[in-house]
Amino acid sequence: MVPKVVFGRGCFDQLPSILAPQRKDKAPFIYLVDDVFKENEELINRMNLRFNDKLIFVSAEEEPKTEQVDTIVKNIKSEFTYRPSGIIGVGGGSILDLSKAVSIMLTNKGSASDYQGWDLVKNKAVYHVGVPTISGTGAEVSRTTVLTGPEKKLGINSDFTPFDQVVLDPDLTVGVPKNQWFYTGMDCFIHCVESLNGTFLNEFSKSYGEKAYDLCKEIFMNGNLTEVESRGKLMMASWHGGMSIAYSQVGVAHAMSYGLSYVLGTKHGVGNCIVFDHLEEYYPEGVRLFKEMKEYHNIDIPQGICGNLTDYQMETMIDIALSLVPLWENALGEDWEQKMTRDKLKELYLKM
């Protein structure tokens, strides 16, 4: 679990005082910041960089890659003699995951791709702080960092992955474009549906999942909330949804969306929406609500993206999806292989 968290409008201003006790002599803090904030001087000034601290702007245009993690780590190691005092990620799921991975790879040998899987990390990561600027992915709270590697899209799942500190300031999510808000918010909604309908469900996960599910309905269906209320609630929904899957697992939508992402580069939020729209067979009630929310907010989901795949691309997509064994086990039970065949997956992908 994340051991320390602050929440509240404007709490981002506490970041310098939170970091100060963690500073080690001559060892910088490295800030990995979404490059949408490149021109945002006000936000950058609030971070209050000192001494040899370094700010690195990162594009979230593409999802994080193991190679990208390796490059950032290599650059940090060659620029600084001392191991950084900490890594601070300021951005959405991609930047948060990248920050977690960089902090792990600063203390572990080899390439990030060596650690994609469950509990492969040997050494404790460098102190790392997460500051989400969009809500829904749960990356701020999860024990994974999802990376695309040379062979697979898979997270580094370990006890060293979660942030040491998270700063939840709902005001940082002001200005997120509407489609992005919806797609990322639906990532949270889908986490809840997949967790609550999975075979791995337990009371611990359930209590978080149910709370996040209710918050999502309040945010995306009722329409009576002020923007301030809605931002605060979505930030907490993301947290609770993330907690729910951390102690159970995701399901069909995530497995299939990973396939889309690996072959077509489809981003996680929109990828989940593309897939989930066609999963009524597996999650009837969740998909019904999803369609209602989509209509209500007048959101377009891209269509026909699998129409022109080559056979090789389709087979790769299916391979990637099927490789996520725990997701299928959670969704369909131990005999999932009888239920989800390659033909069935192909039929579903062709609808998307």
Q: What residues line the site for Fe ion (CB under 5 A)?
A: 187
38-77 core/surface letters (b: 16 or more CB in 10 A; e: else): eeeeeebeebeeeeebebebbebeebbbbebbbebbeebe
Closer to Fe ion by CB, 106 or 215: give it.
215
For 266, the 3-state DSSP assignment is coil
Distance, CA of 92 to CA of 34 (rounded, Å): 8
Q: Which is nearer to Fe ion, 105 or 273 (CB)?
A: 273
Of the pair 53, 268, the CB lying nearest Fe ion is at: 268
302-321 core/surface letters (b: 16 or more CB in 10 A; e: else): eeebbeebeeebbeebbebb
Q: How far is the CB of 7 from Fe ion (least distance, A)?
A: 21
**Nearest residue (CB) to Fe ion, 187 versus 329:** 187
* Closest-approach residue to Fe ion (CB): 187
Minimal distance, residue 308 CB to Fe ion, in Å:
26
Residue among 99 and 261 whose Cβ is closer to Fe ion: 261
What's the min distance (Å) between Cβ of 111 and Fe ion? Answer: 24
Rounded least distance, CB 272 to Fe ion, Å? 6
DSSP assignments along 277-318, one per residue: TT-TTT-HHHHHHHHHHHHHTT------TTTT--HHHHHHHH
- Nearest-approach distance from CB 12 to Fe ion, in angstroms: 24
Quick one: tokens of 90? 């300021």
Paired sense of beta strands 146-148 and 128-132, if any: unpaired
Cβ proximity to Fe ion: between 63 and 187 the closer is 187
Which spans in 247-283 are helix H? 252-264, 268-276
* Minimum gap (Å) between residue 65 Cβ and Fe ion: 17
Q: Are 264 and 288 in contact (CB under 8 A)?
A: no
